[in-house]
Amino acid sequence: SFIGEESVAAGEGSILTANPTWIIDPIDGTTNFVHRFPFVAVSIGFVVNKEIEFGIVYSCVEDKMYTARKGKGAFCNGQKLKVSGQQDITKSLLVTELGSNRDPETIKIVLSNMERLLSIPIHG
């Protein structure tokens, strides 16, 4: 099976089943792409029994290929990735995405979450 993000965004329905399924977003960061903001990627995932088996993200502008496989770790251009180990959130850089849902209730929840994050003395 195949699920394409652009098709779903255009209103086509999709149902994730237990069947092996490719999930593809050919322009991950469509809004960035439309506005010529240079952070876009091609994202591909493979799911079996509704569980991710592996994923690939190609960051076009950076020419970086991120890969991950269930139980095998994540890599960038073949180099193993690891988390920083930082446990103190005040020494961390937080990045967030506001999402595209403009439903008033969703906006309230997102802004409430942002307010809680911004009250922590973080780097950015």
Mean pLDDT of 46-70: 96
| Alpha-carbon gap, residue 60 to 40, rounded angstroms | 6
| Dihedral, CA of residue 87, residue 88, residue 90 and residue 92, to nearest 10 | -20
Say what the pTM is.
0.77
Say which residue the tokens 């690891």 belong to: 82
Flag whether pLDDT at 10 surpasses 70: no
Identify the pLDDT of residue 22: 96
- Is the pLDDT higher at 92 or at 72? 72
- pLDDT higher than 70, residue 58: yes
**25-57 pLDDT tens trace:** 999 988 889 999 989 999 999 999 999 999 999
The residue behind tokens 């569980």 is: 51
Phi, psi for 30 (deg, rounded to 5): -55, -45
Q: What is the mean pLDDT of the chain?
A: 90
**Would you list which residues are annotated within the binding site for Mg(2+)?**
5, 25, 27-28
The annotation places the binding site at 5, 25, 27-28
